[in-house]
Chain A
């Protein structure tokens, strides 16, 4: 293969798979009952869940610039809902252009002809339509702030979850997250990678000091000029055949490689692949050897979500428990989110509820306030005999939560497993 450097305009089109219906009759499945509702929930930071009755909701990603155009066709007066979603200040939606068209009739009530025209033009050069999960669609429509980056990483990890598990030699009959949302792996990988690359491309337009301020953790670094040039090449050549391999070098963590680029000697491309590997898979080194930290006894599992954690983490943890033969010893699973991580934790819970024969799982809303996390820890410690605490949340939360668990249950009944790539 040779790299395409032409300036022929092309785009990839992301579309949410419409036939997904959550299993069960619980209130969570009832509230987040279709992909559009799930997307609204994620994009308004868990504030809204109204679905747009849309037959077509496409995100076009320009493969030259990474620019995004969201095209929503809607029924009747749903444009009011779209405008309302756009006006929620907490929302994460930040596309370069939002085009709305009415399904019956020529234009929306406030539509501008040139914008509709623009939307039609963008659709003409669409290289491929990819059906993706609501998480990936949300990541691609999300802003380029830190939270937007984390959703992009989370979606990419979700799409690679089977390959990550295989690289870790984990096997089991638990369906990966994209599968329960009824999408194909190849389309999900390509879609989530396009979302990630588009986000990195957009950072190229932002003042580097602003990016550094946003990415203040030691795990995430801002992209340099060379990386940005490589990402541009990668984005231009994106297609459905871009399925990556993951090799897990014990002690060093996961390594991402793309067969189609293996014969190309291009330093910018190599640097961009290194960067993508580091930001999207670097954190997952924490799963290396994690299985040995679980003991074979009955327990409750409390998973404290960090900002980048999502359904892929839940999937890997389930496989680890299965591999150790202790999944059936897990009595209850608590998914702990904070105000910042609660939408991702809820989405992960929705995924868990789609899988049969799992322990009872519940969402816990805690916070960085020690006074509140203490109340939450007391509640959780009152319901289980032995607790395994997967520690990945914010510093103050991990400290006060674990401290309270120890005080309430004693060292013999609490085991904390830090989910940290640091050794």
Chain B
């Protein structure tokens, strides 16, 4: 591959797309170590420890619909003559480190922390826009991201100027890669660091416990534990979710959280009781699917108290870094053995509403 093509392309490290049904399950559908976007296409680049495994891994990308040229690999070793794909697709292409534009990746290290925080805040919509980059047809992207402002334009993408820089950046990339705009605009360097998404660090924590899937119970316990280190915790459940509540209480007590109170209330009293408990600077955390009438009552009651210094939060799936920011990127740039597989996980995190 010509080095010039790589130099003119847009590069982005650590790119993962999740299935949109991330509320309950979180299977990844594509993991790309480095994404390279060209005007009218994209290439996925994987870092390989052993290039002999490339044809097999390459097939995974091919069968996942990531393109006819399955994937490029950066490796210092040659592929070797015995490695053939044998499945009617092109052999993966190994590119030399010498021709790779590492200066673009070096630049990324400056933005990485801010970029990651912003991506966490807009995780669900950013994931959707990344899905469009990989799988969306130009016609669909044109329909969704049109700025024409007519009744067929999709809100809020019809007015990109009102959107956050990360979203504008993604839209710009989609338009470039689908051939709808000549080149992407760089909004990444404009991203400013905002508040972190976690809340409920202090004050009383009132947790509404609905029926929770058994596999999520431990994650919910872990999230509450992380939030409630110095706070008084009140677990409020209904008769339907009291078993879940007992289990959570038991696990929290095992973890040494002392100031713990549990109560089962009628569903029609759930919101009043939560507001009553949280008055004076507390946080109400929703740990799952709560009936919509309870949610509306909750917002109405908090609004009636004119803010009342009560905060609302919900447990949402968010990416959590496994390592120090940018550590893998540094290793890659320096040519050390490393992969991006250890970069992030997804976990239930409290998000202020």
Contacts and interface: CB of A to CB of B under 8 A. Distances in A.
Given A146-B21, A418-B293, A399 B353 contact: yes
Interface in B31-86: 63-65
Nearest to A383: B155
Interface string A257-279: 00000000000000000000000
A418 B152 contact: no
Nearest to A24: B152
B303 A411 contact: yes
A399 B124 contact: no
Contacts of A1: none
Contacts of B214: 212-213
Given A370-B351, A391-B296, A420-B292, A334 B155 contact: yes
Contact of A395 (B20, B137, B139, B314): B314
Interface string A202-215: 00000000001110
Given A26-B152, A87-B65, A398-B295, A371 B316 contact: no
Interface in B288-339: 288-296, 298-300, 302-303, 312, 314, 316
A26 B151 contact: yes
Contact of B316 (A87, A364, A368): A368
B21 A395 contact: no
B213 interface: yes
B246 interface: no
B131 to A, nearest CB: 7
A355 interface: no
B292 A372 contact: no
Nearest to A343: B20
Given A50-B137, A364-B154, A422 B303 contact: no
Interface string A66-95: 000000000000000000100111100000
A145 B212 CA distance: 18
Contact of B296 (A88, A368, A418): A418
Interface stretch (A39-47, A52-60, A131-139, A244-252): A39-47
A166 interface: no
Contacts of A402: 295-296, 299
B30 A46 contact: no
A242 to B, nearest CB: 31
Contact of B303 (A89, A363, A368, A403): A403
Contacts of B314: 370, 395-396, 399
A3 interface: no
Interface stretch (B108-116, B160-168, B229-237, B247-255): B160-168
A117 B295 CA distance: 55
B140 A31 contact: yes
Contact of A365 (B121, B140, B144, B215): B144
Residue among B64, B289, B294, B314 facing the most chain A CB atoms (10 A cut-off): B314
B64 to A, nearest CB: 5
A3 B127 CA distance: 49
Contacts of A90: 19-20, 29, 131, 135
A48 interface: yes
Given A375-B156, A396-B353, A418-B291, A340 B20 contact: yes
A406 interface: yes
B155 A380 contact: yes
B296 A365 contact: no
Contacts of A380: 155
Interface in A362-416: 362-365, 367-372, 375-376, 379-380, 391-392, 394-396, 398-400, 402-403, 406-407, 411, 416
A45 B134 CA distance: 13
A375 B155 contact: no
B137 A213 contact: no
Interface string B14-35: 0000011101110001100000
Given A362-B155, A365-B155, A379-B156, A418 B295 contact: yes
Residue among A84, A334, A360, A368 facing the most chain B CB atoms (10 A cut-off): A368
Contacts of B122: 367, 369, 371-372
A369 B121 contact: yes
B261 interface: no
A357 interface: no
A179 B31 CA distance: 43
A292 to B, nearest CB: 15
A352 to B, nearest CB: 11
A307 B185 CA distance: 35
A339 interface: yes
B143 interface: yes
A27 B155 contact: no
A369 B117 CA distance: 13
B330 to A, nearest CB: 29
Q: Which 6 A-B pairs have the closest CB atoms?
A: A418-B292, A339-B128, A87-B65, A420-B292, A422-B291, A367-B125
Interface of B: 19-21, 23-25, 29-30, 63-65, 121-125, 127-128, 131-132, 135-137, 139-140, 143-144, 146, 148, 150-157, 159, 162-164, 167, 210-216, 240, 267, 286, 288-296, 298-300, 302-303, 312, 314, 316, 351-353
